[in-house]
Amino acid sequence: MRFILLLLACGLTSCTSNYHVDYRKAVQNFKQGDRPTGPWKGAWKSEVNGHKGPLWCLVTQDPKEPDTWTFRYRAGWGVLQFGDYKHPVKTTLQADHSLPVDDKMELPNNYGTYAVRGKLTPKEFKFRFEGNGDKGTMTLARPK
Protein backbone atom coordinates (compact mmCIF):
# COMPACT_ATOMS: atom_id res chain seq x y z
CA MET A 1 0.00 0.00 0.00
CA ARG A 2 2.84 2.39 0.72
CA PHE A 3 3.90 2.03 -2.90
CA ILE A 4 0.55 3.23 -4.22
CA LEU A 5 0.24 5.95 -1.59
CA LEU A 6 3.62 7.23 -2.65
CA LEU A 7 2.60 7.12 -6.30
CA LEU A 8 -0.49 9.09 -5.39
CA ALA A 9 1.42 11.64 -3.35
CA CYS A 10 3.92 12.15 -6.14
CA GLY A 11 1.17 12.47 -8.68
CA LEU A 12 -0.78 14.97 -6.65
CA THR A 13 2.22 17.17 -6.03
CA SER A 14 4.28 16.87 -9.19
CA CYS A 15 2.08 15.97 -12.11
CA THR A 16 -0.40 18.35 -13.67
CA SER A 17 -1.36 16.24 -16.65
CA ASN A 18 -4.52 15.63 -18.57
CA TYR A 19 -4.31 11.92 -17.98
CA HIS A 20 -8.00 11.19 -18.61
CA VAL A 21 -7.98 13.02 -21.94
CA ASP A 22 -4.79 11.31 -23.06
CA TYR A 23 -6.04 7.91 -21.92
CA ARG A 24 -9.38 8.24 -23.73
CA LYS A 25 -7.58 9.25 -26.93
CA ALA A 26 -5.23 6.28 -26.61
CA VAL A 27 -8.18 3.89 -26.15
CA GLN A 28 -10.03 5.36 -29.16
CA ASN A 29 -6.95 5.09 -31.37
CA PHE A 30 -5.76 1.72 -30.13
CA LYS A 31 -5.58 -1.21 -32.53
CA GLN A 32 -4.29 -4.50 -31.19
CA GLY A 33 -1.04 -5.41 -32.86
CA ASP A 34 2.35 -6.81 -32.04
CA ARG A 35 3.52 -3.89 -29.87
CA PRO A 36 3.19 -3.57 -26.10
CA THR A 37 2.55 0.18 -26.42
CA GLY A 38 -0.77 1.84 -25.79
CA PRO A 39 -3.40 1.81 -23.04
CA TRP A 40 -3.72 -0.69 -20.22
CA LYS A 41 -6.24 -0.98 -17.38
CA GLY A 42 -6.29 -3.14 -14.26
CA ALA A 43 -5.40 -3.09 -10.59
CA TRP A 44 -2.59 -3.10 -8.06
CA LYS A 45 -2.62 -5.16 -4.87
CA SER A 46 -0.38 -5.19 -1.83
CA GLU A 47 0.61 -8.61 -0.53
CA VAL A 48 1.60 -7.08 2.79
CA ASN A 49 -1.76 -5.66 3.89
CA GLY A 50 -4.25 -6.57 1.14
CA HIS A 51 -4.88 -3.01 0.05
CA LYS A 52 -5.71 -2.62 -3.62
CA GLY A 53 -6.98 -0.16 -6.18
CA PRO A 54 -7.50 0.62 -9.85
CA LEU A 55 -4.51 1.19 -12.09
CA TRP A 56 -4.21 2.57 -15.61
CA CYS A 57 -1.07 2.83 -17.71
CA LEU A 58 -0.09 4.37 -21.04
CA VAL A 59 3.05 2.80 -22.49
CA THR A 60 5.00 4.74 -25.12
CA GLN A 61 8.35 4.37 -26.80
CA ASP A 62 10.64 7.38 -27.03
CA PRO A 63 11.11 8.14 -30.75
CA LYS A 64 14.56 9.65 -30.11
CA GLU A 65 15.75 6.85 -27.81
CA PRO A 66 14.21 3.54 -28.97
CA ASP A 67 15.39 1.68 -25.85
CA THR A 68 13.55 4.11 -23.54
CA TRP A 69 9.93 3.38 -22.75
CA THR A 70 7.64 5.53 -20.60
CA PHE A 71 5.10 3.93 -18.30
CA ARG A 72 2.62 6.65 -17.41
CA TYR A 73 0.54 5.42 -14.50
CA ARG A 74 -2.66 6.61 -12.88
CA ALA A 75 -3.30 4.82 -9.59
CA GLY A 76 -6.27 4.86 -7.28
CA TRP A 77 -6.59 4.21 -3.59
CA GLY A 78 -9.60 4.66 -1.37
CA VAL A 79 -12.75 6.24 -2.70
CA LEU A 80 -11.53 9.43 -4.37
CA GLN A 81 -7.75 9.43 -4.11
CA PHE A 82 -5.85 9.26 -7.38
CA GLY A 83 -2.42 10.25 -8.63
CA ASP A 84 -0.32 10.18 -11.78
CA TYR A 85 3.30 9.11 -12.18
CA LYS A 86 5.74 8.68 -15.08
CA HIS A 87 8.35 5.94 -15.01
CA PRO A 88 10.92 5.94 -17.83
CA VAL A 89 12.50 2.50 -18.33
CA LYS A 90 15.54 1.47 -20.36
CA THR A 91 14.80 -1.88 -21.99
CA THR A 92 14.94 -3.50 -25.41
CA LEU A 93 12.00 -4.83 -27.38
CA GLN A 94 12.54 -8.58 -27.76
CA ALA A 95 12.02 -10.70 -30.90
CA ASP A 96 8.74 -11.97 -29.41
CA HIS A 97 7.57 -8.31 -29.09
CA SER A 98 7.85 -8.35 -25.29
CA LEU A 99 9.52 -5.84 -22.99
CA PRO A 100 11.39 -7.26 -20.00
CA VAL A 101 11.32 -4.80 -17.11
CA ASP A 102 13.67 -4.95 -14.15
CA ASP A 103 14.04 -1.40 -12.97
CA LYS A 104 13.89 0.86 -9.96
CA MET A 105 11.61 3.83 -9.56
CA GLU A 106 13.10 6.70 -7.62
CA LEU A 107 10.06 8.53 -6.33
CA PRO A 108 10.41 12.28 -5.84
CA ASN A 109 10.42 14.07 -2.50
CA ASN A 110 12.41 11.29 -0.78
CA TYR A 111 9.46 8.87 -0.89
CA GLY A 112 11.78 5.98 -1.60
CA THR A 113 12.84 3.50 -4.21
CA TYR A 114 10.75 0.65 -5.52
CA ALA A 115 11.88 -2.29 -7.63
CA VAL A 116 9.53 -3.08 -10.50
CA ARG A 117 9.90 -6.39 -12.34
CA GLY A 118 7.89 -8.13 -15.01
CA LYS A 119 7.37 -8.79 -18.66
CA LEU A 120 5.09 -6.72 -20.84
CA THR A 121 3.74 -8.36 -23.97
CA PRO A 122 1.29 -6.98 -26.53
CA LYS A 123 -1.49 -8.80 -24.62
CA GLU A 124 -0.30 -9.13 -21.00
CA PHE A 125 0.94 -6.72 -18.33
CA LYS A 126 2.02 -8.42 -15.10
CA PHE A 127 4.55 -6.70 -12.86
CA ARG A 128 5.68 -7.04 -9.26
CA PHE A 129 6.69 -4.12 -7.07
CA GLU A 130 8.69 -4.11 -3.85
CA GLY A 131 10.14 -1.44 -1.59
CA ASN A 132 9.76 0.46 1.67
CA GLY A 133 8.25 -2.54 3.43
CA ASP A 134 5.59 -3.18 0.81
CA LYS A 135 5.33 -5.58 -2.10
CA GLY A 136 2.64 -6.71 -4.47
CA THR A 137 1.38 -6.99 -8.01
CA MET A 138 0.20 -4.83 -10.86
CA THR A 139 -2.00 -6.77 -13.31
CA LEU A 140 -3.46 -4.97 -16.32
CA ALA A 141 -5.18 -5.87 -19.58
CA ARG A 142 -6.16 -3.99 -22.69
CA PRO A 143 -9.25 -1.81 -22.10
CA LYS A 144 -12.47 -2.86 -23.79
CATH for 2-141, among 2.40.50, 3.40.50, 1.10.287, 2.40.128? 2.40.128
Each residue of 56-88: pLDDT tens digit? 999 999 999 999 999 999 988 777 677 788 999
Contacts 24+ apart (CB under 8 A), 90-97: 91/67, 92/67, 93/36, 93/61, 93/66, 96/121, 97/34, 97/35, 97/36, 97/121, 97/122
What does the pLDDT average to over 27-54?
Answer: 94
Each residue of 105-138: pLDDT tens digit? 876 556 678 899 999 999 999 999 999 888 999 9
> What is the pTM assigned to this prediction?
0.84
The pLDDT score that the predictor gives to residue 77 is 78
- Domain map (residue ranges) of the chain: 2-141
